[in-house]
């Protein structure tokens, strides 16, 4: 799974039934997937609407998430997230908070620069094939340090140390694609990085591509503004 040639959707689900039964992933066992609280949205359009409404509440300081004690006990029985979000590791972008969603609603995959990795893609495939989440969102954010570091490198700056260079390598195509364009280079690169990774999801995963073609899953992109708190979807 993850890149290159993929096993078919049916084979993945079969393998998941055998392989995930004895292991825990994302806070719930595969044997409990589908149990627990009812999914808050079943269709991609309903899921996207819930995220948009939650972000509006967050921006307006009208969040509805309160005590989670009862919710925690419900989630012990399983998970039914309605959205998968590939987001940045930036501590200023708390995914559930940004969308005013309680635990169990969003299956979150995070890496600095919000790009598709092999392991991250495996997690997303799990969310699609096993958890049946109907929506995937690639979420970038303003003033992204990973994208900014890549711009500085492309401008001739020093090579980042250690594994940080791996982040730069992944983001570099979006940075070069937007170099010299009209407007702010950082903003343009952040938006392009989101679009590139939306395409990467279906290009690199037959599981995701099949779900999208069958219209059981929709992919959306968005950029979170650190100042306003608003997520602009594309």
Provide the residue ranges of all domains of the chain, joining segments of one domain with +. 9-233
- Reference 232, options 112, 65, 109, 59; nearest CA is 59
What is the distance between the alpha carbons of residues 179 and 63, in angstroms, rounded to a whole number? 39
Extract long-range pairs of 92-97: CB within 8 Å, 24+ residues apart.
92/141, 92/226, 93/139, 93/141, 93/224, 93/226, 95/139, 96/65, 97/58, 97/63, 97/65
Kindly state the tokens that stand for 198.
Answer: 């939306």
pTM, whole model, 2 decimals?
0.84
SS3 29: strand
pLDDT for res 33: 57
pLDDT for res 93: 98
- pLDDT tens, position by position, for the chain (234 residues)? 333 344 454 554 444 443 443 333 333 444 445 577 899 999 999 999 999 999 999 999 998 887 778 888 889 999 999 999 999 999 999 999 999 999 999 999 999 999 999 999 999 999 999 999 999 999 999 999 999 999 999 999 999 999 999 999 999 999 999 999 999 999 999 999 999 999 999 999 999 999 999 999 999 999 999 999 999 998
CB-count exposure of residue 134 (10 Å: 0-12, 13-18, 19+): buried
What is the distance between the alpha carbons of residues 103 and 4, in angstroms, rounded to a whole number? 33
**What 8-state DSSP symbol labels residue 20?**
S
**What 8-state DSSP symbol labels residue 230?**
P
In terms of CATH architecture, what is 9-233?
A: 3-Layer(aba) Sandwich (3.40)
């Amino acid at each position: 799974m993850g890149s290159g040639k993929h096993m078919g959707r049916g084979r993945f689900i079969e393998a998941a039934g055998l392989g995930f039964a004895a292991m825990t992933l994302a806070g719930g066992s595969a044997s409990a997937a589908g149990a627990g609280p009812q999914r808050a949205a079943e269709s991609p359009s309903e899921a996207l609407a819930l995220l948009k409404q939650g972000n509006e509440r967050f921006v307006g300081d009208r969040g509805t998430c309160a005590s989670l004690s009862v919710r925690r006990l419900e989630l012990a029985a399983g998970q039914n997230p309605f959205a998968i979000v590939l987001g940045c590791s930036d501590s200023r972008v708390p995914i559930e908070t940004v969308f005013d969603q309680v635990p169990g609603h969003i299956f979150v995959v995070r890496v600095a620069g919000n790009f598709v990795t092999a392991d991250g893609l495996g997690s997303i495939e799990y969310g699609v094939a096993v958890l049946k989440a109907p929506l995937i969102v690639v979420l970038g954010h303003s003033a992204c340090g990973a994208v900014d570091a890549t711009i500085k490198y492309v401008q001739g700056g020093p090579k980042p140390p250690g594994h940080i260079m791996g982040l730069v390598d992944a983001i570099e195509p979006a940075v070069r694609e937007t170099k010299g364009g009209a407007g702010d280079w950082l903003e343009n690169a952040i938006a392009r990085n989101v679009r590139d990774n939306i395409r990467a999801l279906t290009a690199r995963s037959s599981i995701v591509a099949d779900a999208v073609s069958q219209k059981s899953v929709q992919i959306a992109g968005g950029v979170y503004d650190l100042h306003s708190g608003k997520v602009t979807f594309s």
